[in-house]
Amino acid sequence: MENTLLIGLSRQIALQRELDVVANNVANMNTTGYKADGAIFEEYLMPQAQAAGFQGADRRVSYVQDRATWRDFGSGPIRPTGNPLDVAIDGDAFFVVQTPRGERYTRNGAFQINAQGELVTNTGERVVGDSGPIQFQSTDNSISINPDGTITAREGSNSRNDSARGRLRLVRFDSVQQLQKDGTTMFSTPAGVAPLEAGTSSRVKQGSIEQSNVHSVIEMSRMIEVTRTYTQITAMMQQFSDLRRSAVEKLAEIPA
């Protein structure tokens, strides 16, 4: 009976973890460049049962084990915004940004220009180009970003000549599942994993952003399913607990 309660508890812990993952996905349905998470669970067989009252060989007890979290790196819908500093990637590449913790990688191309004239993310991290951070002049206007990531601008309102300001650095990874989340839309690499240049396999689209790839209907349905399963297991565990209490009470009524 104790094993039944322990198995139910292990499943509830796994469901709680899954509910946290689903809730985080739902909370970021409208976050630019967000990539949905998923939970992976597996069966864990104990080498022997904890109860010592079995006759013959011990029977192994099967628990639920939280194994890992995986990420869906599929592209989200690309939405035109008309903002010349918004950039979306068509392909499997990532933008490179510089943070106090080192280089990070993101699909969130909602860029801005800070007070120092640097191209930054919407949270203030500098966007990295092929030659370092991308710098604009205070008089720049008519900013243009080509499909290969080259950025040009016109100096002054009377100028008709475009001046290069850099080229967005795009990178890719052989195994994106090795990336580790660092914040909401940024990723870091573990030791020994280095980015590769994206080359011509990915292009950028100016005036657009990549929306979250979370499927709202699927995530909401999953949240309802997880909640119902958790409630059912709670009811089952309560029944076993009542059964044990009833057995103890009846045993206490037996004359010594």
Two structure tokens written together for 59:
């029977």
Together in a domain, 171 and 185: yes
Evaluate whether residue 256 is within a structural domain.
no
| Residue 31 pLDDT grade (very low, low, confident, very high; cuts 50, 70, 90) | very high
Together in a domain, 206 and 218: no
Mean pLDDT of 64-74: 82
| Residues of the domain holding 13 | 2-73+214-251
Together in a domain, 92 and 201: yes
| pLDDT over 70 percentage in the chain | 89
Together in a domain, 123 and 68: no
Two structure tokens written together for 91:
């392909």
**pLDDT tens, position by position, 92-113:** 999 999 999 999 999 999 999 9
| Domain count along the chain | 2
pLDDT of residue 49: 47
Residue in this structure with the two tokens 């030659």, named with its chain if needed: 131
What average pLDDT does the chain have?
A: 87
CA-based nearest residue to 14, from 179, 229, 215: 229
pLDDT of residue 155: 82
Across-strand partners of 164? 152
DSSP designation for 88: E
Together in a domain, 120 and 226: no
Reported residue count of the chain is 256
If you write DSSP's letter for every residue of 17-84 in order, what string do you get?
HHHHHHHHHHHTTTSTT---EEEEEEEEE-SS-S-S--SSSPPP-EEEEEEEEEE--PPPPEEE---T
The Cα–Cα gap between 177 and 190 comes to 11
CA-based nearest residue to 181, from 20, 26, 19, 72: 72
Residue with the larger pLDDT of the pair 153 and 247: 153
Together in a domain, 154 and 242: no
